[in-house]
């Protein structure tokens, strides 16, 4: 399965510097909008509808307020992609789980305090998950901000050590774009926008072995 990973497009799908490669599965790890308003969703739907990938899946991010405030309505307004909010789906035998939460971050959407509140969300992830789609990175993996601080979630990192999925795709920390492998898991920070909110980073392609 060829997986094409993007995140943090912030409504600037038409301004991306790079074309989105073809593949079997398009994953978007959140912040599909700039301000999370309901009127932003028509452009999000148009973007997903135009993509050639047979399967398209996303989870919201901290900018995507409408998915927190009216999740059912918001997901229904983007019918060309599957929206996962603490939910899973199986595609061609690959089990995918999506979750939008992150440690408290400037009072944005899908924020929870570190500790039990976040750990409870991560315990929902099934142990047989193959692809984990989150908005936040786990702690100490592709989560370093410009000031040198690590802003990933320690509770998520702990859960990942327990379940060891094949792939964890996220974004959120724009300046930490890239990919790394630790143990059995490939980690991808697929932020398309850089720190200055310019959509300059290319999508990241991952080929999952059968």
pLDDT surpassing 80 at residue 210? no
Give percent helix, percent strand, percent coil of the chain, each to the nearest 5. Answer: 25, 30, 50
pTM of the entire predicted model = 0.97
Convert the pLDDT of each residue in 85-132 to its tens digit: 999 999 999 999 999 999 997 889 999 999 999 999 999 999 999 999
- Give one DSSP letter per residue of 170-208, joined into a string: E-S-GGG-EEEEETTEEEEE-B-B-TTS-B-SPPEEEE-
CA dist 68 and 65 (Å) reads: 5
Domain residue ranges of the chain, discontinuous segments joined by +? 2-207
Convert the pLDDT of each residue in 45-60 to its tens digit: 999 999 999 999 999 9
CA dist 10 and 141 (Å) reads: 22
Span 2-207: which CATH code? 3.60.21.10
Convert the pLDDT of each residue in 190-206 to its tens digit: 999 999 999 999 999 99
| Exposure b/e, 112-142, CB count within 10 A at least 16 = b | beeeeebbebbeebeeebbbbbbbbbbbebb
pLDDT surpassing 80 at residue 8? yes
Token pair listed for 191: 């932020």
Convert the pLDDT of each residue in 118-167 to its tens digit: 999 999 999 999 999 999 999 999 999 999 899 999 999 999 999 999 99
Residue entry with tokens 């979630």: 153
């Amino acid at each position: 399965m060829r997986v094409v990973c993007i995140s943090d497009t912030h409504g600037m799908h038409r301004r991306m510097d790079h074309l989105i490669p073809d593949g079997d599965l398009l994953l978007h790890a959140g912040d599909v909008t700039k301000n999370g308003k309901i009127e932003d969703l028509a452009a999000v739907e148009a973007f997903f509808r135009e993509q050639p990938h047979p399967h398209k899946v996303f989870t919201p991010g901290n900018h995507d307020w409408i998915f927190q405030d009216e999740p059912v309505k918001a997901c229904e307004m983007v019918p060309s992609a599957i929206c996962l909010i603490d939910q899973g789906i199986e595609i061609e035998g690959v089990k995918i789980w999506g979750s939008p939460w992150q440690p408290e971050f400037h009072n944005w959407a899908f924020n929870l305090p570190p500790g039990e509140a976040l750990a409870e969300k991560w315990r929902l992830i099934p142990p047989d998950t193959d692809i984990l789609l989150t908005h936040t990175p786990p702690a100490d993996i592709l989560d370093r901000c410009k000031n040198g601080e690590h802003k990933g979630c320690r509770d998520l990192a702990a859960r990942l050590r327990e379940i060891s999925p094949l792939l964890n795709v996220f974004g959120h920390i724009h300046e930490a774009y890239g990919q790394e492998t630790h143990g059995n898991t490939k980690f991808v920070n697929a932020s398309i926008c850089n720190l200055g909110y310019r959509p300059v980073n290319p999508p990241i392609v991952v080929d999952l072995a059968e």
